[in-house]
Structure 1
Amino acid sequence: MLNLRSDIKKIGLFITGIFITTCLFAQTTSNRNSATPDTIAYHKVVLDYQSKLISWITPQSKAYDQFLHQRWNFIKTKVPNSPGPAPRSNYPQYYFYASFVIKDGKMEIKDWMNDVAEKLPNWFESARLYYAYTGDLSVMKIVKDLMDYSLEHGTSPATFAWPNFPYTTTNPGDTEFLGFTRQGHLALHEVQVDHAGDMGLAYYRMYLYSGEKKYLNAALHVANVLAANARIGTADKSVWPYRVIMDSGKITAEYGANWAGCYMLMDNLVRDNLGNVAFYKEALIKARNFILQFPMETGYWTDGHTDTDVNSNTYKSNMSASNTTLCMFDYAELDPNWKVDIPKLIKWTEDNFVFRCAPGEPATQWGANIVGEQDGYLPKMDYQTARYGAECARWYAVSGDKTYKEKAYRSLNWVTYCNTEEGLANESPVSSIDTWWSDCYGECPRMFYQAFAAIPEWAPQGENHILYSEGILKNVAYQSKEVQYTPTNNIGTEFLRLDFKPAKITIEGTAISENRDVHNDTYKLKDLGNGDYSLIVNHKHSGRIVISENKKEPLNK
């Protein structure tokens, strides 16, 4: 009898254990879409004393720093080559495919498309900022090789109506880029003009970094075609058509609003007096007028990314508005009312893509606002949330309004959960969607540097880093108590965090002075405590910049 009772008790405990385990599993899987989930993506939730989200990465002071290293380490060490045959099998998967999923612990390619012109510009930005932050040249080689392939295999012939212009999409696995035709949404040689402009900007910035004229020529080709096709924008037809078929010049979508990259490309060329400057100036005026008169007033920030056939003048995309917002922090001349319009745009994102959700998805998790992508695709995503975090952080730096610092902090903390220790990304912990190379390994991480610039306290303590610069830097070198770099533009600003107090800062050997207002060829220093400082260098001359604890000139200038 005792044995029977014992057996019955064991059976009861076993059944109870199954029930509890089942309930816990059900809770974990079902509550991932709640405002207070147990886990986010790969990690158990970690909360602070306010029961609000902090990063899972320890120590907290290095959370964002480690996140950035994890993502690049994954690209450098974990990505398999594409499936055969050769030559495709000679290149990593991200050359020819847009996204992947994880099945049975392995990466599985999604056979959807290749978003060339979303991937390359974002990867370039992520790489050049990581290089400045670390001095790691290997990431610049990765993105340079990717750019070279796109130039050689993804540029329209000179005989086309839109000549020498970048292909923005292609079918999955294509080794020659001719457009995304497989799903029947888009036509052969059809491109998104806004994303082609982003490619042109990336080409120009690679020229500034490398000095290789092929990138300058490619950028000038893009700018010339854009300038030739610029028009006076209206509520129905934007300054450039959103989509065209390059061989015939046929317009397939008249309205788009994602023109920040096109604007910055031509603004940079005008600044550096390259190409047909007068032509570019005319196009810049048309672009600025359209942006301020229409999407800034109507809220119709239209863009369908690169894999949809959106044809509308009322469609909304967070990326389009976000690109304009971030542009205005560095190109204030775009909008004389930027200090009024930027907080309006942040609220626009909250109204349209935080608090408007896909069915069953939350707007917030443990105090973190999480952000969707576009009208036709609302799942909350890591890269859109990172965009929002960067915007809020930078607006806090301008306004001093601590509510934006709090918003940025919680949202960026949420983004760190979308990552394993090895850097495997999960684009959306609340949806079963693919993980995109462009979004998770380009667009998402590059936003953290803007947050660092705004709030240098979030960069790691006791280390030296160039946190952010809008301009391209080269010859970056970190030594004990010394940082050196060369800006490629005359006028620029660099944001740093240092583990020492500089005794001398020079540009081409000439010392510059401290000024709390940060005028030209001056710097601003802030004590962060424990021997650390934040530094803003503002210059109107190019040349080697040396920041040193030693008053003597370095030997290796």
Structure 2
Amino acid sequence: MRFDANGHLLPWIAWSTALDREMRYYASAPLEHGYPVFVTTTFLDANWKPTRDDTIPATQNSTGIISYLKFYSLRGKRNPRLLATARAMGDYLIEQTLTPDAGAYPRFPRSTGRHGQFPLAADSGSQNDRAYEIQPDKGAMAGYALLQLHAATRDKKYLDAARHIADVLADNQTDGDAAHSPWPFRVDIRNGEARGPVAGNQVFALRLYDEWIARGDRRYQARRDALWRWIKTQQIPSARSNGALFAQFFEDHDNPANRTAWAPLALARYLLEKRAALDPDWQANAKTLIDFVRREFTHVEFGVRVCHEQDEDHDAWGGVNSTYGAVLALYAKATGSAQLAREARAALDFAAYAIDEQGRPHDLPTHADLGGWQEDAHTDVIHNFVDAINAFPEWASSSR
């Protein structure tokens, strides 16, 4: 890593150059069953070889769709291959990852699966999902991403899939309270049996409902209002104390008390995007969430304040640390904070050290081996750099 005379971490390359190299590298990915291999496989080495057989299809591909659509727009919508890759991710979600057409969560995207199954088997849960279990919040992420894909392509199959996901979520939603989110973290697809009373990532269901309402569909209004009421009156206030309502997001953990940084950052991002249209108290509430993350989930590496994932994992993985940098950049832009802008830039400079000269990423900048979790190496990283660049365009080409 490179440092200036005062010991401050320097970027090793301009972000724009690094991101273009990474996207070219991923464009070279071989196909598996007709999809780019990083769409179907979560753990890959630098030669596109699988290293584990467990997968996280919903998180990996929903963040991937968002990343590819944002990068497509950043580059002036001139590269059709980027849009084609986003479509491949959407197609994989609706063609290969859905639960059976029966039970409490029919035709619903899976949170986990097994590499090499086309489609995923009914009992294909992996990591810390049991057989037949899914995570409702991951389906909400997929539904929101599919709506964005429909907006970019006008392909009705993505619209229909997103509507069905919203309907299933609405059918299973509860009011929530001080100890329960409106959906549990895990459910059995057959009977809806819950495991884990709190799922910290509720904002994507809110995004999904809001998108439908913006399209003129008022059927989700009551469900949306109940969800927002829980977020505003229960979840956000919890960040001022112990943050217990931000427990559980990551698929490979099942401790019901395990709080994460990813979920409050995802909520803060939505507040910063919508501002008063979502919440008249957007700035104070975004600050509450960011302060909680900075207090509980940041540490210093190489002189840079970086963000780690959760109570049970203190590594600054690519997904969560780039999310932190992006959300901090959005907040700094909204509030005019030069200090937070510097910290955001530094966190993302740290994240960019995960990309090598050929555009091949690591899932953690300090990992010796290339590849790893594709969410942390690629799909949940690109959109965060794009958000920061949109907030501070000069960061894209500057290498200080």
TM-score by length of 1: 0.66
**Residue of structure 2 in register with 1:306 after alignment:** 251
Alpha-carbon deviations, 1:340-384, whole Å to 9, x = none? 1222322222222213xxxxxxx2313x21221112222122222
Q: Which has the higher contact order (CA 8 A, sep 6+)?
A: 2
Q: Which residue pairs with 1:247 in the alignment?
A: 190
Partner of 2:282: 338
Deviations 1:372-411, CA, capped at 9 Å, x for gaps:
1112222122222211111221111111111111101111
Partner of 1:458 in structure 2? 395
Q: Which has the larger radius of gyration?
A: 1
Structure 1 residues 73 and 179: alpha-carbon distance in aligned structure 2, compared to 1, 3 A threshold = farther
Query: Which piece of structure 1 moves more, 213-222 or 377-386?
Result: 377-386
- Of 140, 143, 154, 2:86 maps to 143
Equivalent residue runs for 1:285-304 within 5 Å? 285-298=225-238, 299-300=243-244, 301-304=246-249
Q: Is the 8 A contact 2:64 2:380 kept in 1?
A: yes
Query: Which residue number corresponds to residue 325 of structure 2?
Result: 389
Q: 1:179 to 1:187 in 2, by over 3 A?
A: farther
Task: Report the aligned-residue RMSD.
Answer: 2.1
**How many pairs does the alignment contain?**
389
Instruction: Give the direction of change, closer, same or farther, for the CA distance of 1:273–1:184 in structure 2 (3 Å limit).
Output: closer
User: CA separation in 1, counterparts of 2:283 and 2:125?
Assistant: 44
- Residue 56 of structure 1: aligned partner: 12
CA distance in 2, matches of 1:81, 1:163: 28
Q: Please, which moves more after superposition, 185-194 or 117-126?
A: 185-194
Pair 180,459 (structure 1): closer, same or farther in 2 beyond 3 Å: farther
The answer as to whether partners of 2:39 and 2:61 remain within 8 angstroms in 1 is no
8 Å contact from structure 1 (residues 167, 178) kept in 2: no
Contact 1:169 1:179 in 2 (8 A): no
Q: 2:129 aligns with which of 180, 186, 194?
A: 186
What SS does the corresponding residue of 1:346 show, helix, strand or coil? helix
Paired letter, 1:436: W
Q: Does 1:206 align with 2:143?
A: no
* TM-superposition CA deviations, 1:305-359 (whole Å, max 9, x none): 223334x2x321111111101111112244332211222322222222213xxxx
Matches for 1:34-113 after TM superposition, within 5 Å: 45-57=1-13, 63-77=14-28, 79-82=29-32, 88=33, 91-101=35-45, 106-113=47-54
Q: Which amino acid aligns with 1:96?
A: T
Indicate whether 1:446 and 2:387 are aligned: no
Q: Tell me, what secondary structure is at the counterpart of 2:95?
A: helix
- Paired with 1:390 and 1:180, the residues of 2 have a C-alpha distance of 36
Structure 1 residue 457: deviation in Å?
2.0
Q: Could you tell me how far apart the structure 2 residues matched to 1:95 and 1:455 are?
A: 30
Residue deviations 1:461-488 (CA, integer Å, cap 9, x gap): 8xxxxxxxxxxxxxxxxxxxxxxxxxxx
| Distance (whole Å) between structure 1 residues aligned to residue 368 and residue 191 of structure 2 | 39
User: What is the aligned-residue identity percentage?
Assistant: 22
| 2:355 is aligned with 1:404 | no
Report deviation, 1:431: 5.2
CA contact (8 A) 2:249 2:262 kept: no
Matched-pair contact (CA < 8 Å) for 2:97–2:119: yes
CA pair 128-185 structure 1, distance change in 2 beyond 3 A? closer
Moved more, 108-117 or 183-192: 183-192
Cα shift at 1:419: 0.7
Structure 1 residue matching 2:44: 3-state secondary structure: strand
Please state how far the C-alpha of 1:184 moved relative to its aligned partner: 7.5
Aligned to 2:298: 354
Amino acid at match of 1:323: A
Larger helix fraction of residues = 2
TM score, norm. by length of structure 2: 0.91
In structure 2, C-alpha distance between the alignment counterparts of 1:457 and 1:68, rounded to whole Å: 15
Q: Distance in 2 between matches of 1:303 and 1:460?
A: 37
Mapped partners of 2:43, 2:283: distance in 1: 37
Are 1:219 and 2:155 matched, yes or no?
no
**Secondary structure of 1:109's partner?**
coil
Deviations 1:291-317 (A, max 9, x none): 12223122221223223334x2x3211
Amino acid at match of 2:187: V
Native 8 Å contact 1:372 1:378 kept in 2: yes
Cα separation, 2, equivalents of 1:178 and 1:50: 55
- Residue number among 166, 181, 189 corresponding to 1:238 in the alignment: 181
Shift of 1:181: 4.9
Cα deviation for residue 263 of structure 1 reads 0.5
- Within 5 A, what are the aligned runs for 1:461-472? none
Q: Using the TM superposition, give the Cα deviation of residue 187 of structure 1 relative to its aligned residue in structure 2, in angstroms.
A: 2.6
Per the TM alignment, residue 51 of structure 1 is displaced from its structure 2 partner at its CA by 2.4
Residue 256 of structure 1 corresponds to 199
Match of 1:119 among 57, 60, 67: 60
What SS class does the counterpart of residue 290 from structure 1 fall into? helix
User: Matched residues in 1 for 2:99 and 2:125: separation?
Assistant: 19
Give the 3 Å change call, closer, same or farther, for CA 369–258 of structure 1 in structure 2.
same
- Partners of 1:335 and 1:187 in 2: CA distance: 37
Offset of residue 173 of structure 1:
2.3
Consecutive unaligned residues of structure 2, counting only runs of 5 or more, are none
Q: CA offsets, 1:1-44, max 9 Å, x none?
A: xxxxxxxxxxxxxxxxxxxxxxxxxxxxxxxxxxxxxxxxxxxx
TM-aligned CA distance change 1:130 to 1:179, over 3 Å:
farther
1:133 equivalent to 2:74? Answer yes
CA distances 1:439-465 after superposition (whole Å, capped 9, x unpaired): 22111111112112221222348xxxx
Distance 1:336 1:302, change over 3 A: farther
Q: Which has the higher strand share?
A: 1
**Range with bigger deviation, 223-232 or 181-190:** 181-190
Question: What secondary structure, in the 3-state scheme, does the structure 2 residue paired with 1:244 have?
Answer: strand
Supply the distance in 2 between the matched residues of 1:92 and 1:339 (Cα, whole angstroms).
Answer: 40
> Is the Cα contact below 8 Å between 2:55 and 2:112 reproduced in 1?
yes
Question: Does the CA-based 8 Å contact 1:162-1:247 persist in structure 2?
Answer: yes
How much does 1:161 deviate?
1.9
What does residue 413 of structure 1 align with? Answer: 349
